[in-house]
């Protein structure tokens, strides 16, 4: 993402102009947008014209519109962002107050104006525009009959393909079906890799599985690559890396990313950092439960006591469209920062968790009515 222009007033109102240049920037933009903001971008509008004779014709025109955002829709798989809202700047094609949906496009600038630019949003812009944060990793998490092909980008993990093949068990006296189905499964995963992993961008492909599935798969993959003379695979052979995972479900990706062999080879992706932070938290909870808090109410209490050392917070919470709720989280983040704590983002543990500098005892018993968040 490129920041072209930033104009923020003293009262935190203002606008920024950005150019997204990667699919992931759509994700960042998604996190920046809120209902009530105004967005100006170039878009295509179908315009109806009525000629003097009364015949109606329609044409598609490219025009720049400014919308007051009403709904935001993000397709995480295709990385597309659609923003719907009412027009607030009339032009020759579109009347004031008419509804329109802008689909943001790569490499076209847009301008976003907000009444309040808070620290979290500004942080996000900074993060999105940081060119250093790039490490594209693909991972294949698999077990017999199930494989997930994911793309791990600095900010997000994209599930690219899920391969599910029913594999008959070995039965007394007949393994042919089992082995045939296994072949078919490996073939499907191989096709998935070829289709979804762009080896020009991806620097490393992690293959993780329990048992020997990964070894078997890799040997099958390269045997097939040689047989089919698939240059792409053969050239990129060194990029493949085998790691142990306990299952083929997507959440096992976390195990792969925290494997020491992987962390030493990868630059810090967000996912890996998240794993580390979570681990710290759990360790603390285990050994000093009074220094590890989670749930908004408890964490806020701890924050009031200036006790928070590390705040773990889900960025989902900032997508909260209710201003009051959102500002509650922003306040929390700001107060932690102001008091010298660090803030990390992670998506677990009901959203907010904190590791404290000093233990606060008896807080968990104090109130029990509000930990109902799901």
Partner 1 sequence: MTMTSAPKRAERTAHAHLPRQHGGHRVTRVGPEPRGETDPDRNPPGGRERPRTRTCPGTGTSAATTTTKTLRTMTCTDSQWTMTIASLQLRLHSSSTRGRRRRWSRWRRRSSRSRTRPPPLLSSATLTRWTRDVCTPVWTRCGPCSGTRLPDSVLTQAAVRCDFDPQRALDAVLSGEDAPPPHAQEQPLPQRQQRGRVRESSQAQLETEVLPKVARMTVSGKKQTMGFEVPSNEENGVPSPSVRRAPSPDVVSVTMTPETPSKLLGGADEAPPPATPRPAGSNKNQLNVREELEKRQGGKPLLNLVVIGHVDAGKSTLMGHLLYLLGNVNKRMMHKYEQEAKKAGKASFAFAWVLDETGEERDRGVTMDVGMTKFETNSKVVTLMDAPGHKDFIPNMITGAAQADVAVLVVDASRGEFEAGFEAGGQTREHGLLVRSLGVTQLAVAVNKMDQVNWQQERFQEIVSKLGHFLKQAGFKDSDVSYVPTSGLSGENLTTRSSVPELTSWYKAPCLLEQIDSFRPPQRSLEQPFRLCVSDVFKDQGSGFCVTGKIEAGFIQTGDRVLAMPPNETCTVKGITLHDEPLDWAASGDHVTLSVTGMDIIKINVGCIFCDPKEPIKVCSRFRARILLFNIELPVTQGFPVLLHYQTVSEPATIRKLVSVLHKSSGEVLKKKPKCLTKGQNAVVEIQTQRPVALELYKDYKELGRFMLRYVGSTIAAGVVTEIKDFFLSPAPRLSRS
Give contact residues for partner 1 (rule: CB under 8 A).
143, 145, 166, 168-173, 175, 177-179, 210-212, 216, 244, 246-247, 249-252, 255, 282-283, 285-286, 289, 294-295, 298, 348-350, 364, 368, 371-372, 374
In angstroms, give the least distance from the CB of 295 to partner 1. 7
| Helix (H) or strand (E) segment spanning residue 276 | helix 270-287
Q: Which residue has the tokens 């983002």?
A: 345
CA separation, residue 355 to residues 22, 277, 367, 371 (Å): 34, 10, 19, 18
Cβ proximity to partner 1, 36 vs 145, nearer residue: 145
Cβ proximity to partner 1, 47 vs 188, nearer residue: 188
Cβ proximity to partner 1, 20 vs 295, nearer residue: 295
- How do strand 308-313 and strand 342-345 relate by DSSP bridges? parallel
Cβ proximity to partner 1, 111 vs 350, nearer residue: 350
* 370 token code pair: 């509000």
In angstroms, give the least distance from the CB of 324 to partner 1. 23
216-225 LR contacts (CB < 8 Å, sep 24+):
216/182, 216/186, 217/140, 217/142, 217/186, 217/189, 218/242, 220/183, 220/186, 220/190, 221/186, 221/190, 221/193, 224/187, 224/190
Whether 150 and 159 have beta carbons less than 8 Å apart is answered as yes
In angstroms, give the least distance from the CB of 151 to partner 1. 19
In angstroms, give the least distance from the CB of 28 to partner 1. 25
Q: Which residue has the tokens 């004779």?
A: 53
* Whole-number Å distance between alpha carbons of 51 and 260: 70
Cβ proximity to partner 1, 175 vs 201, nearer residue: 175
User: In 10 A of CB 312, how many CB atoms?
Assistant: 26
Residues making up the chain, counted from first to last: 374
* 124 token code pair: 């996000």
Cβ proximity to partner 1, 50 vs 372, nearer residue: 372
In angstroms, give the least distance from the CB of 319 to partner 1. 17
In angstroms, give the least distance from the CB of 360 to partner 1. 12
Cβ proximity to partner 1, 250 vs 320, nearer residue: 250
Nearest to 43 by CA among 88, 110, 116: 110
In angstroms, give the least distance from the CB of 22 to partner 1. 29
* 108 token code pair: 């076209």
């Amino acid at each position: 993402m490129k920041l072209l222009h930033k104009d923020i007033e003293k009262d935190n109102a203002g606008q920024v102009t950005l150019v997204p240049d990667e699919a992931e920037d759509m994700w960042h933009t998604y996190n920046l947008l809120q209902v009530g903001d105004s967005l100006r971008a170039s878009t295509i509008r179908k315009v109806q014209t009525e000629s003097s004779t009364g015949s109606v014709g329609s044409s598609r025109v490219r025009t720049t519109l400014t919308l007051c955002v009403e709904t935001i829709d993000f397709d995480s798989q295709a990385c597309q962002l659609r923003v719907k809202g009412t027009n607030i700047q009339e032009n020759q094609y579109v009347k004031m107050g008419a509804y329109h949906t802008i689909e943001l496009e790569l490499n076209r600038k847009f301008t976003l104006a907000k009444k309040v630019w808070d620290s979290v949003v500004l942080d996000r812009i900074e993060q999105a525009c940081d060119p250093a944060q790039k490490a594209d990793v693909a991972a294949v998490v698999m077990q017999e009959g199930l494989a997930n092909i994911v793309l791990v980008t600095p900010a997000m993990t994209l599930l690219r393909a899920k391969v599910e093949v029913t594999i008959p068990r070995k039965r007394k006296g007949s393994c042919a079906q089992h082995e045939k189905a296994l072949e078919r499964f490996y073939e499907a995963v191989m096709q998935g890799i070829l289709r979804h992993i762009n080896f020009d961008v991806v620097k490393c492909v992690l293959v993780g599985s329990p048992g020997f599935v990964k070894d078997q798969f890799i040997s099958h993959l390269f045997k097939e690559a040689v047989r089919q003379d698939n240059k792409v695979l053969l050239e990129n052979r060194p990029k493949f890396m085998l790691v142990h995972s306990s299952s083929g479900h997507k959440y096992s990706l976390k195990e792969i990313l925290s494997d020491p062999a992987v962390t030493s080879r990868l630059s810090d992706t967000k996912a890996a950092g998240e794993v580390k932070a979570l681990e710290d938290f759990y360790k603390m909870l285990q050994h000093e439960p009074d220094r590890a808090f989670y749930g908004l109410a408890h964490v806020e209490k701890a924050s009031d006591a200036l006790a928070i050392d590390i705040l773990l917070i889900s960025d989902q919470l900032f997508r909260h469209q209710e201003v009051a709720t959102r500002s509650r989280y922003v306040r929390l983040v700001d107060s932690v920062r102001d008091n010298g704590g660090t803030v990390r983002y992670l998506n677990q543990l009901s959203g907010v968790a904190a590791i404290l500098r000093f233990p606060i005892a008896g807080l968990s018993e104090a109130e029990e009515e509000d930990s109902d968040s799901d």
